[in-house]
Structure 1
Amino acid sequence: MGWGGLRLLVLAGLTGTAASRLDFYWKGCNEMESLSRAPSTHVIRSNRVCGRPRAQYRSVGGEDSMEGEWPWQASLLWYNKHLCGGSLISNQWVVTAAHCFQRSMDTSNYAVLLGVNKLANSQPHKLSLGLRRIIRHPIYSGESSSGDIALVELERPIQFTNYILPICLPTASVQFPAGMKCWVTGWGNIQEGEDLPAPQTLQKLQVPIIDQETCRDLYNTAVGETFPPKSIQNDMMCAGYAEGMKDTCKGDSGGPLVCKVSKEWLLAGIISWGEGCAIKNRPGVYIRLTSYEAWIHSHVPDIEFVPDEKGRNVLGNAATGWAARTGMTTWLLLLMGQLLMEV
Structure 2
Amino acid sequence: MGGETEDGEGRQDRGYVPGNQEPGLLGFSPGCGRGVTSSGLEQRWLGATTPGFYSLCSPPFSSACEQPMGSPRIVGGNDAKNGSWPWQVSIREGSNHICGGSLIAESWVVSAAHCFNGDKSAYHVNLGEYQLQNPSESLVSFPIKEIYRHPSYTDIGSSGDIALVELETPVNFNRVIRPICLPASSVEFPAGMECWVTGWGDTQYGGEGEVLGLEAPKTLQEVQVPLIDRDTCNSLFNTGSYPDDPQGTDPIKQDMICAGYPEGEKDACQGDSGGPLVCEWDNAWLLAGVVSWGVECARPNRPGVYILLPPYADWIQGYVPTIPFTLRSMSVMQHNSAAASPLGALRNILGTSPTHTRLKQVKRIGGPLGLLGALSHCLVYLCLVPPLPAMLLLAAAVPMIL
Q: TM-score range by the shorter chain?
A: 0.7 to 0.9
1:218 matched to which residue of 2?
236
* Aligned Cα root-mean-square deviation (Å): 2.8
Change (3 A) 1:324 1:287: closer
> Which residue is 2:87 aligned to?
72
- 5+ residue gaps in structure 1? 8-27, 29-45, 326-343
Other-structure match for 1:284: 304
CA deviation after TM superposition for structure 1 residue 309, in Å: 11
In structure 2, C-alpha distance between the alignment counterparts of 1:198 and 1:181, rounded to whole Å: 29
Counterpart of 1:134 in structure 2 is 147
**Amino acid of the structure 2 residue aligned with 1:65:** A
Partner of 1:298: 318
Q: 1:53 to 1:226 in 2, by over 3 A?
A: closer
Structure 1 match to 2:35: none
- CA deviations over 1:8-35 (Å, ceiling 9, x no partner): xxxxxxxxxxxxxxxxxxxx9xxxxxxx
Report SS of the residue matched to 1:246. Answer: coil
Structure 2 residue aligned with 1:35: none
SS for the counterpart of 1:129 is: strand
> Counterpart in 2 of 1:236?
256
Cα separation, 1, equivalents of 2:163 and 2:217: 28
Letter in 2 for 1:173: S
Q: Is the 8 A contact 1:61 1:206 kept in 2?
A: no
Cross-structure match for 1:6: 14
Identity %: 49
Structure 1 counterpart of 2:227: 209
TM-score, length-scaled by structure 2: 0.65
Q: Does 1:83 align with 2:98?
A: yes
Report matched runs for 1:175-324 at 5 Å.
175-192=188-205, 193-227=211-245, 228-230=247-249, 231-307=251-327, 321-323=375-377
Change in 2 beyond 3 A, CA 1:175/1:282: same
TM-score if structure 1 supplies the norm length?
Answer: 0.76
Q: Which amino acid aligns with 1:275?
A: V
Whether contact under 8 Å (1:125, 1:163) holds in the other structure is yes
The structure whose residues are more often helix, as a share, is 1
Q: Is the 8 A contact 2:112 2:163 kept in 1?
A: yes
Q: CA deviation at 1:226?
A: 4.2
After superposition, what is the alpha-carbon deviation per residue over 1:101-150, rounded to whole angstroms, capped at 9, x for unaligned? Answer: 13x1x111001010111111020111111100000000100010000000
The CA distance in 2 between the partners of 1:281 and 1:61, in whole Å, is: 16
- TM superposition shift of 1:323: 3.9
Instruction: Say which SS state the counterpart of residue 121 (structure 2) adopts.
Output: helix
Contact 2:194 2:279 in 1 (8 A): yes
Q: For 1:259, what is the secondary structure of its paired residue?
A: strand
Deviation digits for residues 283-322 of structure 1 (CA, Å, limit 9, x no counterpart): 000001001011000111111101189899999xxxx945
Aligned to 2:187, the other structure's residue is in SS state: coil
Question: Over residues 41-79 of structure 1, what are the superposed CA-to-partner deviations in whole Å (9 max), with x where a residue is unaligned?
Answer: xxxxx9542133222242x96100011100000000011
- Identify the residue that residue 328 of structure 1 maps to in structure 2: none
Structure 2 CA distance, aligned partners of 1:297 and 1:321? 23
Shift of 1:222: 4.7
Amino acid across the alignment from 2:168: E
Distance 2:248 2:201 in 1: 25
Structure-2 change in CA distance of 1:225 and 1:80 (3 Å): closer
User: Alignment partner for residue 53 of structure 1, among 57, 63, 68?
Assistant: 68
Question: Letter of the aligned partner of 1:204 in structure 2?
Answer: E
- Matching residue of 2:384: none
1:178 CA displacement: 1.0
Report SS of the residue matched to 1:153: strand
- CA distance, structure 1, for counterparts of residue 378 and residue 268 of structure 2: 41
Aligned to 1:121: 134
CA contact (8 A) 2:244 2:296 kept: no
1:6 is matched by which residue type in structure 2?
Answer: R
Which whole-Å CA distance do the structure 2 matches of 1:161 and 1:207 have between them? Answer: 28
Greater relative contact order (CA < 8 Å, ≥ 6 in sequence): 2
Deviation of 1:221 (Å)? 3.7
Question: Among residues 164, 172, 186, which one is paired with 1:173 in the alignment?
Answer: 186
Checking the alignment, whether the CA contact within 8 Å between 2:132 and 2:218 is kept in structure 1 is yes
Contact 1:182–1:257 (CA<8 Å) still a contact in 2? yes
Q: CA deviation at 1:225?
A: 4.5
Question: Which residue identity is paired with 2:157?
Answer: S
Matched AA of 2:152: I
Q: Shift in Å at residue 220 of structure 1?
A: 3.0
Distance 1:301 1:310 in 2: 19
Q: How many residues align structurally?
A: 282
Structure label with greater radius of gyration: 2
3-state secondary structure, aligned to 2:237: helix
State the Cα distance separating 1:172 from its structure 2 match: 2.0
Contact in 1 for aligned 2:13/2:294 (Cα 8 Å): no
